[in-house]
Amino acid sequence: MFYYLFDYLHKKFDFPGAGVFHYISFRAAMALIVSLLISMVFGKRIINLLHRKQVGEIVRDLGLQGQLEKKGTPTMGGLIILSAILIPSLLFARLDNVYIVLILITTVWLGVIGFIDDYIKVFKKDKKGLQGKFKVLGQVGIGLIVGIVLYSNNHVVVKEKIYSNGQSAYSIDEMYGTGSTPQMPVYSKVETKSMKTTIPFVKNNEFDYSSLLAFLGSGYKKWAWLIFIPIVIVIITAVSNGANITDGIDGLATGTSAIIGVVLGILAYVSGNTVFADYLNIMYIPNAGELVVFISAFVGACVGFLWYNSFPAQVFMGDTGSLALGGIIAVFAIAIRKELLIPILCGVFLVENLSVMMQVAYFKRMKKKFGIEYARENRLFKMAPLHHHYQKLGMHESKIVFRFLIIGIMLAALTIVTLKLR
């Protein structure tokens, strides 16, 4: 909103300093500051409100160190995170930007699903919360919306280099032979609707989803949505659930999400800036730079929430926060055409997810082969998700969190390196 106000003041009255709101970097910095203030200052008031409403965590005795001490700790703290994301984004982002609108819808949509789940657990005293099928249905729904918008909206485009020879990609070795010193051909940048995405560690690292349908013959590109939309749904569901599973000990999901958010902000900035995109030889995505304002608020919300969520936690985010955080990360990565980097960048989420899947699959196999008693006594992990396995081994949860965050930082650095390492 401030963008439009100060843009009007700048154009109409030449108001001193108003032009600074045209800069994404300034608005991103302001979004970060306001987000931190909201989560840290008003977060305490929300925690006190949750205390008064007796919105406490329902804790089952799973034999984990210090677990029962968490009983009664306020949950649904995701309301703090959502407020600290949405308010700065509405204040400082351009609301006519399709990417901003889409990411705001995602935040609210998944936040509401998580809130319903927490509400059922806390107020209806149902430990299972919202049935899994309804959660998945909600995730599929937002995936469908995101996929359709990104596929069909005319403002979702990329700029490709079209060379004088008509090619959209260029290789000196292929065209002129190794060892030659040809003159570079002339090219122009053209906005196109494209289903291309980025492949890490590959030279000329672009992959077009529609190419998977080339066997259909001419006109196959118009059927690209058959590939693209299901992939979007799978990614959003997987990452959202991954963040939800990771939210099991104090500060883990929040800290991991903050690290991921910083990297996504860097990737969005360089992808939405024609100079950096050209220098790094990556896909230039017009209007994607505006997402930096949103992700700055996202990072500020996560860091500010850590003020209360770090060990010993004064509040838990609940599904209200975790489902939204994972969905935001997934949609953001898809919007800037970096979704194939998710297994690296979100490696912590991936491992946590896989540990649960492996535990369940191994248990079922052992139960079928040797019986239920043997399966119970010979689990693959002492407990899943993986962070609980280390708790069972006697490791303090603070140590687990910090080690996971160190791994997250390493994966974040590797993700950034993929911009040049091909």
Write the DSSP symbol of residue 79: H
Peptide bond between residue 385 and the one before it cis (omega within 30 degrees of 0): yes
Write the DSSP symbol of residue 206: E
d(CA 27, CA 94): 10
Report the sign of the C-alpha dihedral through residues 79, 409, 282, 238, in that order: negative
Residue indicated by tokens 């800036």 = 273
pLDDT of residue 239: 96
Report the sign of the C-alpha dihedral through residues 254, 340, 153, 169, in that order: positive
Element of type H or E holding 243: helix 225-246
Element of type H or E holding 160: strand 158-163
- At residue 280, what is the residue type? L
pLDDT of residue 65: 63
d(CA 107, CA 76): 15
d(CA 180, CA 186): 18
Strand partners, 74: 56
pLDDT of residue 219: 82
pLDDT digit string (tens) for the chain, length 422 residues: 888 887 778 888 888 888 888 899 999 999 999 999 999 988 889 888 888 877 766 656 566 766 666 777 888 899 999 999 999 999 999 999 999 999 999 999 999 999 999 999 888 877 788 888 999 999 999 999 999 999 999 999 998 766 555 555 544 444 444 454 455 555 567 778 888 899 988 877 788 898 888 888 888 888 889 999 999 999 999 999 999 999 989 899 999 999 999 999 999 999 999 899 888 888 899 999 999 999 999 999 999 999 999 888 899 998 999 999 999 999 999 999 999 999 999 999 999 999 999 999 999 999 999 899 988 888 999 998 999 999 989 899 999 999 999 999 999 999 999 988 87
Of 351, 147, 321, whose CA–CA distance to 234 is shortest? 147
d(CA 101, CA 365): 45
What are the phi and psi torsion angles at 187 (to 5°)? -140, 160
- How many other CB atoms are found less than 10 A from the CB of residue 341? 25
d(CA 409, CA 11): 43
Total length of the chain: 422
What are the phi and psi torsion angles at 163 (to 5°)? -80, 165
d(CA 402, CA 405): 5
What tokens were used for 121? 């657990």
The b/e string for 64-84 (b: 16+ C-beta within 10 A; e otherwise) is beebeebeebbbbbbbbbbbb
d(CA 72, CA 51): 9
What tokens were used for 37? 């203030």
pLDDT of residue 58: 62
Burial of 101 (0-12, 13-18, 19+ CB in 10 A): middle
Burial of 174 (0-12, 13-18, 19+ CB in 10 A): exposed
d(CA 93, CA 104): 11
Q: Tell me how many degrees the CA angle 146-148-149 measures, rounded to the nearest 5.
A: 65
What tokens were used for 353? 């997810």
d(CA 309, CA 47): 11
Pairing label, strands 187-192, 206-208? unpaired
